[in-house]
Amino acid sequence: MRDKTDHDKYADDLSNIVQWTNWVESTMKRIITLYLKIPAEQVDFFEGNVLNNAVIGFAQKVKVVQAINRRAAAVKKFEQHPFSVMMTRRNAFAHQDLMTSVRLIEDKDGLPDVQLVIESMQGNGEFEEITRERAFAEFFEALMKCEKILDEMLVALGEEPRSVTSFPEKSRDTDGDVAF
């Protein structure tokens, strides 16, 4: 079996990011449905049509869930920032042009290293360029914060937490750094 290339790792990261973002969005749909007390026989229609991802986007669902939290006081401090980081990094991965994202950078020892970078436009209109590994780590950290917030809200609404079950295991690379 051949070793994974940077392109293979990028594809794996993108696949995980899309699945985890869908998990967050699905959990937000569940919170909205629970809060509005949608009758069981109408849940499929409500979540599949009214809250469909093509009808109401991720950012709009975050705003609705945040408004629910203000009324239900489920989470003491609802942070919107992790949700924004998730979407920024998800979009950067999903729309990155792999043909133009290879860069020669210096590693931590000052040696040249070829890396895939992720580009995204910041709120001020400037481009941000970070390594694929850093972008993935930032996404994952934001995901963990979102999971905690959403699980607390589910519990406050009388539902069991819906924790993500398929996170990759953290491992140590040869230099002792945490790698994903």
Q: What is the pTM of this model?
A: 0.74
Three-point CA angle 63, 69, 75, nearest 5°: 120
Q: How far apart are CA 135 and CA 129, in angstroms?
A: 9
* pLDDT level of residue 113 (50, 70, 90 thresholds): low
| Residues 135 and 118 sit within 8 Å (Cβ to Cβ) | yes
Higher pLDDT, residue 164 or 44: 44
Q: What SS3 class is residue 70? A: helix
Cα gap 177→158, rounded to integer Å: 40
Separation CA 133–CA 137 (nearest Å): 6
Give the mean model confidence (pLDDT) for residues 74-95: 80
Residue showing tokens 């979407």:
87
Residue 175 contacts by C-beta under 8 Å, 6 or more apart in sequence?
108
